[in-house]
Chains A and B, each alone.
Chain A
Amino acid sequence: MTTDPETTQAARTATTNAHVLEIDSLKMYFPITRGLLRRKVGEIKAVDGVTFSMRRGETLGLVGESGCGKTTVGRCICRLYKPTAGTIRFKGTDISTMQEKEFRPLRREIAVIFQDPYGSLDPRQTAGSIVGEPLKVHRLVQSRDNYNERVKGLFAKVGLDASLLGRFPHEFSGGQRQRIGIARALAGDPSLIICDEPVSALDVSIQAQIINLLVDLREGLSGLSYIFIAHDLSVVKHISDRIAVMYLGRILEITTPVELYANPIHPYTRALLSAVCVPDPDIEEGRERIVLEGEVPSPVNPPSGCTFHPRCPEATEACRTAIPSLKSVGNDHEVACLGVK
Chain B
Amino acid sequence: MSAATPAASAWEITCDAGPATELLRVTDLETQFFIEEGVVRAVNGISYTINEQEIVGIVGESGCGKSVSQLSVMQLIRKPGRVVGGEVWFQGSNLLKYRANGSEMRSIRGAKISMIFQEPMTSLNPVLTIGHQLTETLKLHLGMNHKESRSRAAELLESVGIPSAATRLDDYPHQFSGGMRQRVMIAMGVSCQPRMVIADEPTTALDCTTQAQLLELMLSSIDSCKGALVLVTHNLGVVARYAQRIYIMYAGKIVEQGTCRDIFYRPRHPYTVGLLKSVPRLDEERGRRLVPIPGTPPNLIDLADRCAFFPRCAERTERCRVQAWPELIPVDGDGHLTRCYMRAEGANS
List chain A positions with a Cβ less than 8 A from chain B: 1, 4-6, 65-66, 173, 175, 203-209, 211-212, 215, 231-235, 237-239, 257-258, 261, 271-284, 289, 291-292, 295-296
How far apart sit A235 and B235, CA to CA, in the bound complex (Å)?
13
The answer to whether B208 touches A231, judged by C-beta atoms less than 8 angstroms apart, is yes
Q: Which residue of A lies closest to B208 (CB)?
A: A275
30 CB-based A-B contacts, threshold 8 Å: A1-B289, A204-B61, A204-B278, A204-B279, A205-B278, A206-B296, A208-B290, A212-B289, A215-B289, A237-B280, A237-B282, A238-B288, A271-B209, A275-B208, A275-B212, A276-B208, A276-B282, A277-B235, A277-B238, A277-B241, A279-B239, A280-B281, A280-B283, A281-B240, A281-B241, A291-B213, A291-B216, A292-B209, A292-B212, A292-B213
Number of A-B residue pairs at CB separation under 8 A: 130
Mark B residues whose CB is within 8 Å of A. Answer: 61-62, 177, 179-180, 207-213, 216, 234-241, 260-261, 264-265, 274-276, 278-283, 286-294, 296-297
Q: Is the CB of A295 within 8 A of B260?
A: no
How far in angstroms is the closest Cβ of chain B from A241?
Answer: 9
CB-CB under 8 A from B274, the residues of chain A are: 205
**Distance in angstroms between the alpha carbons of A209 and B241 in the assembled complex:** 26
**B210 with A65: CB separation less than 8 A:** yes
Secondary structure of the A contact surface, majority rule: helix
What residues of chain B lie closer than 8 Å to A215, measured between beta carbons? 289
Measured CA separation A215–B280 after assembly (Å): 13
Residues of B within 8 A of A283 (CB): 283
Q: How far is the CB of B184 from chain A (nearest CB, A)?
A: 14
Report how far A191 CA is from B191 CA in the complex, Å: 55
Contact pick for A175, options B265, B286, B296, CB 8 Å: B296
CB-CB under 8 A for A279 and B278, given A204-B61, A231-B207:
no
A233 contact set on B, CB distance < 8 A: 208, 282
Q: When chains A and B are docked, how far (Å) is the Cα of A206 from the Cα of B293?
A: 7
Which residues of B have CB within 8 Å of A231? 207-208
> Which residue of chain A has its CB nearest to the CB of B236?
A279
Would you give the shortest CB distance from A170 to chain B, in whole angstroms? 15
In the bound complex, what is the Cα–Cα distance between A258 and B288 (angstroms)?
13
B198 CB to nearest chain A CB (Å): 20
In the assembled complex, how far is the CB of residue B180 from the closest CB belonging to chain A, in whole angstroms? 7
Per a CB cutoff under 8 Å, which of B177, B211, B279 touches A295? Answer: B177
Closest CB of chain A to B290's CB: distance in Å?
4
Minimal beta-carbon separation of A289 from chain B (angstroms) = 7
Q: Nearest Cβ in chain A — how far from B256, in angstroms?
A: 15
Q: What residue in chain B is nearest A271 (Cβ atoms)?
A: B209
Q: How far is the CB of A160 from chain B (nearest CB, A)?
A: 13
Q: Which of A208, A238, A239, A271 makes the CB contact (< 8 A) with B292?
A: A208
CB atoms of A203 and B234 under 8 A apart: yes
Bound Cα distance from A235 to B280, whole angstroms: 6
> Does A203 contact B61, Cβ atoms closer than 8 Å?
yes
Nearest-neighbour CB distance to chain A for B120, whole angstroms, equals: 14
Inter-subunit contact B209/A212 (CB<8 Å): no
In the bound complex, how far is the Cα of B264 from the Cα of A284, in angstroms? Answer: 12
A280 touches B240 (CB 8 A): yes
